[in-house]
């Protein structure tokens, strides 16, 4: 297990949790946490069409864990093409879902997970992160709709909530089209068990 917080600039930011790479043993707790934080409608989101049946991007699925090892937060990023430019798909990441256990919301943990995820995506050389979410929350991490006017999700979405952060300047200049999944498919057995879904 890789603990990012204890070895990073974010060390001791949240005394009750560390952020680690997601493991298969976290999957059931993650699904329960997402149900508790986001409600049953979460699986009908257009982002889910991009995630369904795929694995998260390599090294970019995170769990926030309490000292006893129980799950208190989750965030994952997914390989996508953020539309096309000059006839070719533009590699990017889709972030989500991000969620913190209801009893621990408002403690700064969501922000810590966002900063860890962004830092790790940048370290791995990714050019941009897109997400569908509230601009009032995600603006603090640098996300905006400035570069997403030409993009669409593969289902209903509010344009003001389709946001992006460039990790390499200019990655999203001139992109247009529907955000499409490009990540690896889950094996059927893993899919049925919900592993890494």
Of 60-68, 107-115, 143-151, 179-187, the segment contacting ligand COA by CB under 6 A is 107-115
Residue number with CB closer to ligand COA (92 or 163): 163
Q: How many residues in the shown chain lie near ligand COA by CB under 6 A? A: 16
Residue number with CB closer to ligand COA (25 or 102): 102
The first and second tokens of residue 113, run together, are 């997970």
Residue number with CB closer to ligand COA (90 or 96): 96
111 binding ligand COA? (CB under 6 A): yes
Which residues 6+ apart lie within 8 Å of 25 measured at CB?
none
Give the shortest CB-5-to-ligand COA separation in angstroms: 14
Q: Phi and psi at residue 182, in whole multiples of 5°?
A: -130, 0
What would the x/- binding string for ligand COA be over residues 118 to 147, using CB under 6 A? ---------------xx-xx----------
E-only strand ranges, the chain: 18-21, 61-65, 71-85, 88-95, 99-100, 128-132, 151-152, 162-166, 176-181
**Residue in 47, 139, 147 with CA at minimum distance from that of residue 95:** 47
The first and second tokens of residue 180, run together, are 């499409």
109 binding ligand COA? (CB under 6 A): yes
33 binding ligand COA? (CB under 6 A): no
Give the shortest CB-18-to-ligand COA separation in angstroms: 15
Q: Phi and psi at residue 88, in whole multiples of 5°?
A: -120, 145
DSSP bridge pairs for 130: 94, 164
Residues near ligand COA (CB under 6 A)? 37-38, 98-100, 105-111, 133-134, 136-137
């Amino acid at each position: 297990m890789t603990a990012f917080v204890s070895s990073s600039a974010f060390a001791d930011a949240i005394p009750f949790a560390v952020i680690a790479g997601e493991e298969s043993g976290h999957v059931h707790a993650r699904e329960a946490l997402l149900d508790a934080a986001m409600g049953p409608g979460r699986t009908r989101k257009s982002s889910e069409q991009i995630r369904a049946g795929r694995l998260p991007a390599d090294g970019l699925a995170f769990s926030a864990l309490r000292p006893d090892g129980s799950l208190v937060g989750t965030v994952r990023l997914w390989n996508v093409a953020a539309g096309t430019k000059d006839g070719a798909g533009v590699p990017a990441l889709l972030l989500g879902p991000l969620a913190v256990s209801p009893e621990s919301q408002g403690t700064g943990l969501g922000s810590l997970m966002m900063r860890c995820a962004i830092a790790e995506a940048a370290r791995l050389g990714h050019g941009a992160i897109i997400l569908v979410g509230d601009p009032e929350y995600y603006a603090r991490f640098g996300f905006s709709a400035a570069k997403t006017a030409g993009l669409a999700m593969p289902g209903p979405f509010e344009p003001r909530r389709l946001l992006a952060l460039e990790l390499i300047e200019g990655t999203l200049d001139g992109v247009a089209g529907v955000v499409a999944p490009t990540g690896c498919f889950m094996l059927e057995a893993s899919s049925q068990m919900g592993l890494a879904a």
